[in-house]
Amino acid sequence: MGLRRRVLVAGVLGAGAAMLASVSVAEAAELSESSGEPERGTIHRVTHPLPPRGRPLIIAHRGASAYRPEHTLDAYRLAIQQGADYIEADLVVTRDGQLVARHENQLSWTTDVAEHPEFAARRRTKTIDGVVTTNWFTEDFTLAELKTLRARPRTPLPGAAPEPVGSIPSLSDIIDLAREATVGLYLELKIPSYFAMLRLAPEPILVSALRANQLPDTSVPVLVESFEGPSLQAVRAIWNVPCILLIAGPVPADLSLVHQYAAGIGVDKSQVTPAVVERAHAERLEVHAFTFANASLADYRRYFAMGVDGVFTDNPDVARQVVRSARAG
Ligand code: G3P
Ligand code: CA
């Protein structure tokens, strides 16, 4: 997490309702008018509880990413088969204003973009979240161009095909899959203030897609997450969807303002303690811990015993096994 993101989160936690302009006035007004939701700029409170799924929630982190290349339909499908309550997709923006599933806007780490001579000239050097990086970036490609790339695992996966598997899913692809499989969607807006500076603010794009698909609903619950609190405030100003504020590092002592726009907090598992869970619950905030990567059964049990409400996991099958055995016992 870069300095800018920490400042944004800290600002929201400490300064309350200050709202950055992640959604342009025109976009927000149009969405607000057509949705019948509260007026633009209103940070309305959570008006419905999180969907009644089994607890704790099993959130498939980038899909079943221990077994399949992250953020592919294959990874999401396997997660659903393994019993995930939600499939998690990190979302970044394309040049033509579409949302696609990638953990970051740099493409070379999880695709074969470097092997496409037609895109060689698109390689650029930019500063992302305070870090200078040379790569190919999603915002320089249209969705159609990104669809010509093959997805790759970030690191070699045991048993996975060694060469590119699957393509980059669009948000639309993911929504279609969730509808077909009746599974929840847990959608993270990545570096939203960066995209807003490029006039590609992701919040109205996300809300347009949710609105067009009449989501969330009872069969496809949706949670929106971000490390940037103002982005969640922007979403909730124009659409009634529960949001989860991600917190990097220690959980601040005062969480009293977070419930104004979030239903819960996502916390690094190293920072989760019984006291943190108690404090969050006292503020009516759920606690979702990240990230369980090849964790032991005992590790899950330890966090469940602390009262966490959800776990981001690369291994949904293992998490499901623990939940099942806990219920049986
Ligand atoms: O979104 C919660 C967790 O996924 C944060 O980690 O994988 O997005 O860096 P990540
Ligand atoms: Ca994430």
Q: What is the pTM of this model?
A: 0.87
Whether 74 lines ligand 1, by a CB cut-off of 6 Å, is no
- Pick 50 or 109 by higher pLDDT: 109
- Cβ atoms within 10 Å of 274's Cβ, excluding its own: 10
Q: Which residues contact 86 (CB under 8 A, 6 or more apart)?
A: 53, 57, 58, 59, 60, 183, 184, 185, 186, 221, 223, 310
Rg (alpha carbons) of the chain, rounded to whole number = 19
Q: Which residue's C-alpha comes closest to atom 9 of ligand 1?
A: 103
Q: What is the pLDDT of residue 165?
A: 74
Confidence band, pLDDT 50/70/90 cuts, at residue 28? very low
Task: Note every long-range contact of 148-153, with CB atoms under 8 Å and residues 24 or more positions apart, other chains counting.
Answer: 148/116, 149/107, 149/111, 149/112, 149/113, 149/116, 150/111, 150/112, 151/69, 151/71, 151/72, 151/110, 151/111, 152/69, 152/110, 152/111, 152/112, 153/68, 153/69, 153/70, 153/110
Q: What is the pLDDT of residue 49?
A: 52
The answer on pLDDT for 31 being more than 70 is: no
The answer on pLDDT for 238 being more than 50 is: yes
- Domain carrying residue 19: 15-104+168-328
Between CA 131 and CA 137 the distance in angstroms is 14
Whether 290 lines ligand 1, by a CB cut-off of 6 Å, is yes
For 245, the enclosing helix (H) or strand (E) is strand 243-247
Q: What is the pLDDT of residue 163?
A: 64
* Mean pLDDT, residues 271-290: 96
The answer on pLDDT for 13 being more than 60 is: no
The answer on pLDDT for 322 being more than 60 is: yes
Residue 313 domain flag? yes
Whether 187 lines ligand 1, by a CB cut-off of 6 Å, is no
The answer on pLDDT for 305 being more than 90 is: yes
Between CA 139 and CA 61 the distance in angstroms is 23
- For residue 73, give the CATH number of its domain: 3.20.20.190
* Mean pLDDT, residues 254-276: 96
Q: What is the pLDDT of residue 195?
A: 98
The neighbouring-strand residues paired with 246 are: 266
Residue 133 domain flag? no
Whether 225 lines ligand 1, by a CB cut-off of 6 Å, is yes
* Mean pLDDT, residues 28-36: 39
Residue 213 domain flag? yes
Residue 291 domain flag? yes
pLDDT digits 0-9 by tens, 181-193? 999 999 999 999 9
* Mean pLDDT, residues 31-51: 41
- Pick 88 or 8 by higher pLDDT: 88
Confidence band, pLDDT 50/70/90 cuts, at residue 19? very low
Residue 23 domain flag? yes
Whether 71 lines ligand 1, by a CB cut-off of 6 Å, is no
Q: What is the pLDDT of residue 161?
A: 62
Distance 88 CA to ligand 2 centre (A): 7
Distance 290 CA to ligand 1 centre (A): 7
pLDDT digits 0-9 by tens, 103-144? 999 999 999 999 999 999 999 999 998 999 999 999 999 999
Q: Report every protein residue that has its C-beta within 5 angstroms of ion ligand 2.
A: 90, 188
For 133, the enclosing helix (H) or strand (E) is strand 131-135
**DSSP secondary-structure letter at 282?**
H
- What three-state secondary structure class fits 170? strand
Contact 314, 66 (CB under 8 A): yes
State the alpha helices, DSSP H only, in 161-306.
171-181, 192-197, 202-212, 229-238, 274-282, 297-306
Residue 121 domain flag? no
Q: CA nearest 89: which of 222, 200, 185? A: 185
Whether 90 lines ligand 1, by a CB cut-off of 6 Å, is yes
* Mean pLDDT, residues 29-49: 39
- Pick 10 or 165 by higher pLDDT: 165
The answer on pLDDT for 203 being more than 50 is: yes
* Mean pLDDT, residues 47-59: 70
**DSSP secondary-structure letter at 253?**
S
Q: Which residue's C-alpha comes closest to atom 5 of ligand 1?
A: 290
Q: What is the pLDDT of residue 316?
A: 98
- Cα distances (Å, whole numbers) of residue 102 to 37, 89, 169, 259, 279: 30, 7, 9, 28, 32
Confidence band, pLDDT 50/70/90 cuts, at residue 44? very low
Residue 30 domain flag? yes
For 268, the enclosing helix (H) or strand (E) is strand 264-268
For 32, the enclosing helix (H) or strand (E) is helix 25-35
Residue 8 domain flag? no
What's the mean pLDDT when you consider all of the chain? 86
* Mean pLDDT, residues 269-283: 96
Q: Which residue's C-alpha comes closest to atom 2 of ligand 1?
A: 290
**DSSP secondary-structure letter at 182?**
T
Q: CA nearest 215: which of 178, 259, 262, 265? A: 178
Q: What is the pLDDT of residue 115?
A: 97
Number of domain units in the chain: 1
Q: Which residues contact 324 (CB under 8 A, 6 or more apart)?
A: none
Share of the chain above pLDDT 90, in %: 77
Distance 192 CA to ligand 2 centre (A): 13
Contact 163, 38 (CB under 8 A): no
State the alpha helices, DSSP H only, in 182-228.
192-197, 202-212
